[in-house]
Each structure stands twice: as structure tokens, then as C-alpha cells.
């Protein structure tokens, strides 16, 4: 165990084996740090926080802060973080609003600079949040989701497993699993084909997901009829996750972008034959 002399660690904290705590860190009472956790300098881990083994927390992160809420209860819940997470600079993760509640971050996640996870969120395993991702209260993010830079997610929304959300998207409705959300429009533009391939989904499974996707977004069926057909035609396998996800919602679901893509402005070719060569010389 390595604790820098300029760190402040409460006697009421429980530290595992091979923990490293850098200078100017503060570890309050009622904190548990699992084996092999590393806290770089200026990390604050507040009361009510449990970190599993192998977490690496970088400079300026605050884990276990009180919720940002105007009606603060007298007793707060906890923060529970799994194992092998990377929590980069200035990430903030807040405790639950309820005495028996927990804000949960799973295993193997990558939370990049400036991410915020509000009270009562639940983040699964192996998710990637790029810089500046903001989760409001009670958001649920399933396993292996990818949220690009500056994505903001409204409270109570859900992000399905292996969904990919483009940068600067404003998520105000549930995002189903396996899909890609365009950052500009905030709408779905198809399956997350690259993510599916990287995670070992076979061509047959991807084809099945495509059939289910077309049924959901392009069949023209009424909502209840679509759910019935989805359940009967895809009773098992990855596509069955769609019905399970759609059956429970508080926010509604993100729509598909059906219009054409934005036009591309093409530059006119030069009338002078010598001009391209001149530009090439200048650029080189």
C-alpha cells in the first residue's frame, strides 16, 4: 500500500491490498477501496462510496458527491462502482437520493474527462463515455454502450446495450439496443454495425437484427401490433432484446431519421489549368 504523506485518509475508510493514493487526495470515512485501486492526485472519494478492485481514478475526480437537487433528503444512499474501471480527470459521480438506493457503475468502463453521472444512475459493464458526457438522474445505460463527446441524456432515459450515440446528441427518449444515433439530429440512423462486428456478432445474428429493425421502424404496423409480431417472430437470440426493451418505458423511444442526408457543397473546379499545380506547390 502506498499513501502519499500529503493525502488525507480517514481511519474509517477500508483499504484493500496494493492501494495507491496520491498527493492531496481525500478519502472520507465509510469508503471502501478494493485491491489495486489507484487514486492519482487531488481525487476526492466521499462517504458512502464503494470501489471494487483495480479501479484507476485520475486527477480531480469526485466520487460519491451529494446529488445536485433542491430538495435534499436528510439521508442519502450510496455509490457502488465495480472493478477495473478507468475514471479520468474531473469525472463526478453522485450518491443516490434515497437512503436505501444506490448509484451503480459496473465493470470495465471508460469514463473520459469531465463526465457526470448523476444520482440513481445505473451504468452497465464495458461502456465508453467520451469527454463531457452528462447523465441526468435515474438514467440507465446498458452494457457496451458508446456515448460520444458532449452527449446529454435526460433523466429517466435508457440507453440500450451496444447502442452508439453520436457527439453532441440530446437524448430525451429511450435509445433501443444495437442502434446508432446521429449526433446532429438526435435520431436513429440504423444499426451499430461496427460495434456488433467488434463484439463478435455473426452475419446471421446481424441479419436477424436487421429484420427486427425493419419491422420496428419501417413496417407501418400499429405499436401494439408491432410488439406482438416482434415477440412472435423473434422469441430468442439478440433480436428478442428489442421486445424486452420496448415493453418497459417511461420516456418513449427515439425515432428513426427517415429524411435524406444533408446535401454536400461541392467546390467548382478551377478554370485555369495552372492553378491546381500552383496550389499543390503552395500546399507542399
Residue 206 belongs to some domain of the structure: no
Residue 181 belongs to some domain of the structure: no
The pLDDT value recorded for residue 159 is: 98
Q: Which residues span the domain enclosing 101?
A: 1-138
Catalytic sites, residue numbers: 119-120, 137
CATH at 2: 2.160.10.10
Answer for the pair 213, 179: CB distance below 8 angstroms, yes or no: yes
Residue 223 belongs to some domain of the structure: no
Residue 56 belongs to some domain of the structure: yes
Encode the chain (284 residues) as per-residue pLDDT tens digits.
999 999 999 999 999 999 999 999 999 999 999 999 999 999 999 999 999 999 999 999 999 999 999 989 999 999 999 999 999 999 999 999 999 999 999 999 999 999 999 999 999 999 999 999 999 999 999 999 999 999 999 999 999 999 999 999 999 999 999 999 999 999 999 999 999 999 999 999 999 999 999 999 999 999 999 999 999 999 999 999 999 999 888 889 999 997 655 555 555 555 554 555 544 444 44
What's this model's pTM, rounded to 2 decimal places? 0.89
Residue 158 belongs to some domain of the structure: no
Residue 99 belongs to some domain of the structure: yes
The tally of domains found in the chain comes to: 1
The pLDDT value recorded for residue 271 is: 53
Cα–Cα distance between 38 and 186 in angstroms, integer? 37
281 sits in the region (left: phi over 0; alpha: psi -120 to 50; else beta) called alpha
Residue 204 belongs to some domain of the structure: no
Q: What is the CA radius of gyration of the chain?
A: 23
Residue 123 belongs to some domain of the structure: yes
Q: What DSSP letter does each residue of the chain carry, written as one string?
A: -EE-TT-EE-TT-EE-TT-EE-TT-EE-SSEEE-TT-EE-TT-EE-TTEEE-TT-EE-TT-EEEEPP--SS--SS--EEEE-SS-EE-TT-EEE--SSTT-EEEE-SS-EE-TT-EE-TT-EE-SS-EE-TT-EE-TT-EE-TT-EE-TT-EE-TT-EE-TT-EE-TT-EE-SBB-TTEEE-TTT-SEEEE-HHHHHHTT--HHHHHHHHHHHHHHHHS---HHHHHHHHHHH--SSTTHHHHHHHTS-SS-BPPB--SPPPPPPPPPPPS-SHHHHHHHHHH-
The pLDDT value recorded for residue 168 is: 97
Burial grade of 232 (CB within 10 A; 0-12, 13-18, 19 or more): exposed
Answer for the pair 19, 45: CB distance below 8 angstroms, yes or no: no
Amino acid at each position: 500500500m502506498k499513501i502519499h504523506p500529503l493525502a488525507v485518509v480517514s481511519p474509517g475508510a477500508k483499504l484493500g491490498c496494493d492501494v495507491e493514493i496520491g498527493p492531496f487526495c481525500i478519502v472520507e470515512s465509510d469508503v471502501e477501496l478494493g485491491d489495486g485501486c489507484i487514486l492519482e492526485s487531488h481525487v476526492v472519494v466521499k462517504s458512502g462510496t464503494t470501489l471494487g478492485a483495480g479501479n484507476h481514478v485520475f486527477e480531480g475526480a469526485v466520487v460519491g458527491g451529494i446529488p445536485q437537487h433542491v430538495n435534499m433528503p436528510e439521508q442519502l444512499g450510496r455509490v457502488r462502482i465495480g472493478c477495473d474501471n478507468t475514471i479520468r480527470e474531473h469525472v463526478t459521480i453522485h450518491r443516490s437520493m434515497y437512503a436505501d438506493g444506490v448509484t451503480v457503475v459496473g465493470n470495465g468502463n471508460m469514463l473520459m474527462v469531465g463526465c457526470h453521472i448523476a444520482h440513481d444512475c445505473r451504468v452497465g459493464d464495458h461502456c465508453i463515455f467520451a469527454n463531457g458526457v452528462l447523465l441526468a438522474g435515474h438514467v440507465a445505460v446498458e452494457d457496451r454502450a458508446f456515448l460520444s463527446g458532449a452527449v446529454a441524456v435526460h433523466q429517466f432515459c435508457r440507453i440500450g446495450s451496444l447502442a452508439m450515440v453520436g457527439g453532441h446528441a440530446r437524448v430525451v427518449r429511450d435509445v433501443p439496443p444495437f442502434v446508432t444515433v446521429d449526433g446532429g439530429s438526435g435520431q436513429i440512423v440504423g444499426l451499430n454495425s461496427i460495434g456488433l462486428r467488434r463484439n463478435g456478432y455473426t452475419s446471421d445474428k446481424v441479419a436477424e437484427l436487421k429484420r427486427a429493425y425493419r419491422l420496428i421502424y419501417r413496417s407501418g404496423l400499429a405499436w401494439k401490433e408491432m410488439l406482438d409480431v416482434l415477440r412472435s417472430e423473434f422469441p430468442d437470440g439478440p433480436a428478442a432484446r428489442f421486445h424486452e426493451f420496448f415493453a418497459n418505458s417511461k420516456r418513449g423511444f427515439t425515432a428513426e431519421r427517415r429524411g435524406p442526408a444533408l446535401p454536400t457543397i461541392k467546390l467548382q473546379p478551377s478554370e485555369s489549368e495552372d492553378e491546381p499545380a500552383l496550389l499543390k506547390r503552395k500546399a507542399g
